[in-house]
Amino acid sequence: MSGVWGKNIKLSIFGESHGNAIGITIDGLLPGIELNIDYIKREMERRMPGKNKLSTARKEADQFEILSGYFNNKTTGSPLCAIIRNSDQHSKDYSKLKSLMRPGHADYTGNIRYKGFNDYRGGGHFSGRITAPLVFAGAVAKQILAEKGILIGSHIKSIANVEDDSFHKVNIEDSLLSGLLKEEFPTINKEKGVEMRKLIIDAKGELDSVGGVVETAVLNLPVGIGSPFFYSVEAHLSHMIFSIPAVKGIEFGEGFDITKLRGSEANDEYYIENDQVKTRTNNNGGILGGITNGMPIVFRTAFKPTASIARLQHTIDIEKHENAELEITGRHDPCIVQRAVPVVEAAAAIAILDLMYDIK
């Protein structure tokens, strides 16, 4: 399995959903970085399961333990390693899933790819549980970026067909992102947030699930980060974002809608204000030629509906090699989008910091 990522900062992520622990090793951090442990705890709590009726009933405190690379409140320059113990596994819920392939999950593909030796309990290494260490790494990266004035924030853009307002692509206030970071269910339009919550509860009551979109903004990035072709900002961000389970799409700026514009409309025209080069629009999402242009990076991440649903579904028994039916038991999120918000931000922070180390 490929659990290693990065160019300048290398991540090695490990563990399974129902194993003893999950964790991450971060290699390449500069020495002497002071870490705010309370801030990391708050970021972990944003993703933490079992907080309300919109998420899984599995309760994990997500308390992390730093094993190496941290001494006297600062990074040492050696690999920073942290683990998170699993404490609320119900492995018996998955006993029959050894041979029954859950629709929408990686059971079948994982079984074939790893010749049946993969840990199938709770999805094993494919599980969204493994995003907890990613949030830890992202919380470290966000602190380093914040020291440079760079802020990352998100809101729930949509759940199924209920849409929140969008970020203004040119003028996004730091205070808006800071406010969203404090919300359990972050939306710009609070009435739309109420509608989204009801939609999730309704889907749960119908033994079903829903997906949605997270919109993210990165503010105050300097001009000149990224490079063509294979380390463009879009490519590097997309690589990390698509590493998050259940992600099915990403678009920058106007995204696919830019195809509906003419060049005269799509081009972001320049102007100078207070000796700063800016653009009047931001259809390209703050990136041109794979390089930041000083405008906000704005992108949207699409998440599919939670694959684990309690409805009767058709599947196969891979051992008997015959058709079968399945009702999934256990504890699952009717919608993962609200808990995915800090994961997207973490992934973005890691990717951007990795690119910024090119010019350190």
Q: What is the pLDDT of residue 338?
A: 95
Residues 6+ positions from 250 with CB-CB distance below 8 Å:
237, 238, 241, 242, 299, 300, 301, 302
Instruction: Look at strands 74-75 and 70-71 and give their pairing.
Output: antiparallel
Structure tokens at 158: 């949509």
> How many CB atoms neighbour CB 231 within 10 A?
16
pLDDT of residue 162: 98
DSSP state of 16: -
Q: With 60 as the cut, is the pLDDT of residue 57 above it?
A: no
Tokens of 264: 């005269």
Query: DSSP per residue over 315-331, as a string?
Result: EEETTTTEEEEE---S-
Alpha helices in 114-254 (DSSP H): 131-146, 174-181, 190-205, 233-241
Can you tell me the distance from the alpha carbon of 296 to that of 283, in angstroms, rounded to the nearest whole number? 11
The structure tokens listed for 140 are 């470290």
Average the pLDDT over 209-237 and give the result.
96
DSSP 198: H
* 331 band by pLDDT with thresholds 50, 70 and 90: low
Omega before residue 229 within 30° of 0, cis: yes
Q: Look over the chain and give the mean of its residue pLDDT values, rounded to a whole number.
A: 91
Structural domains of the chain ordered from first start: 4-359 (3.60.150.10)
The secondary structure element, H or E, covering residue 337 is helix 337-356
With a CB cutoff of 8 Å and minimum separation 6, the contacts of 125 are: 1, 3, 15, 16, 17, 118, 119
Q: Give the model's pLDDT for residue 279.
A: 96
Q: 19 pLDDT exceeds 80?
A: no
Contacts of 304 (CB under 8 A, 6+ apart): 104, 211, 246, 248
Checking if the pLDDT of 339 tops 90, the result is yes
Query: Which residues contribute to the annotated binding site for FMN?
Result: 125-127, 289, 304-308, 331
Cα dihedral 26, 37, 240, 254 in deg (nearest 10) = -150
Give pLDDT, residue 328: 84
Annotated binding site: 47, 53, 125-127, 289, 304-308, 331
Q: Which residue has the higher pLDDT, 52 or 118?
A: 118
The reported pLDDT for the residue numbered 46 is 93
| Averaged pLDDT, 203-214 | 95
CB 228 within 8 A of CB 290: yes
In this model, does residue 48 exceed pLDDT 90? no
Instruction: Please enumerate in sequence order all residues whose Cβ is within 8 A of that of 126, keeping only pairs 6 or more positions apart, or say none.
Output: 105, 106, 110, 118, 245
**Overall pTM surpassing 0.85 (yes/no):** yes
Task: Give the integer Cα–Cα distance in Å for 224 and 173.
Answer: 22
Spatial contact of 234 and 301, defined as CB atoms under 8 Å apart = no
Residue 17 has pLDDT above 90, yes or no: no
Q: Assess whether pLDDT exceeds 60 at residue 224.
A: yes
Q: How far is CA 317 from the centre of its chain?
A: 32
The stretch 164-179 carries a mean pLDDT of 96
Token pair listed for 111: 């079984």
For 290-328, write each residue's pLDDT tens digit.
999 999 999 999 999 999 898 999 999 999 999 999 988
Q: How far apart are CA 289 and CA 213, in angstroms?
A: 25
pLDDT of 18: 77
Q: What is the rounded CA–CA span in Å between residue 28 and residue 166?
A: 36
What gap in Å lies between CA 305 and CA 203, rounded to an integer?
Answer: 10
What is the structure's pLDDT at 251? 98
Q: Per-residue DSSP letters for 43-92?
A: HHHHH-SSSSTTS-S------EEEEESEETTEE-SSPEEEEEE-----GG
Binding residues for NADP(+): 47, 53
